[in-house]
Amino acid sequence: MLWISLMVLILVSLFVVVPYILVGPPTPLFYVRNHDVGVHELRVEVCDSKNNSILDKTYELSAGEEIYYAKPFRFLVPEFEGEGYTFEFTLDNSFKGTHSTNIQPWNTVHVELYSDYEEGQPLLVGEMTV
């Protein structure tokens, strides 16, 4: 019985602990940076594949401010990714951007407000994976 328990512990560590050692800590659920000189309001809503809201939060970002939102625990275990999530960002109640993705420990939805390299686009939404 001890032998079986030891084998289960080794297998769990291979699929859960080893990826954290090789890749590093999980990335945030989303990251936002305000490149503008003004203050902006950003509403963030995240829904699952059944359109159930898992996050609905409004932020006020000052000039140059960055925010990160940590992933909930259920998204931190490799191989148990969240499928079919939609992120909706509303900037100053007028500009909207959406992004759909599977949430994994090492991917992050990345949002830029008024970035220099996207002139005319006040809201740029993408995804980064480590």
pLDDT at 78: 67
In 1-130 the beta strands, taken as DSSP E runs, fall at 30-34, 40-47, 53-61, 66-69, 82-91, 95-103, 107-113, 123-129
Please say if the pLDDT value at position 16 is more than 70. no
pLDDT at 7: 83
Higher confidence at residue 55 or residue 2? 55
Q: What is the mean pLDDT of residues 51-78?
A: 91
Q: What is the mean pLDDT of residues 109-118?
A: 83
Q: Report residue 128 as tokens.
A: 């980064």
- Tell me the three state secondary structure of residue 72: coil
Could you give the percent of the chain with pLDDT greater than 70? 87
> 52, 58 in Cβ contact below 8 A?
no
Q: What is the mean pLDDT of residues 43-58?
A: 94
Q: What is the pTM of this model?
A: 0.82
C-alpha to C-alpha distances, 56 to 37, 49, 90, 127, nearest whole angstrom? 25, 16, 11, 19
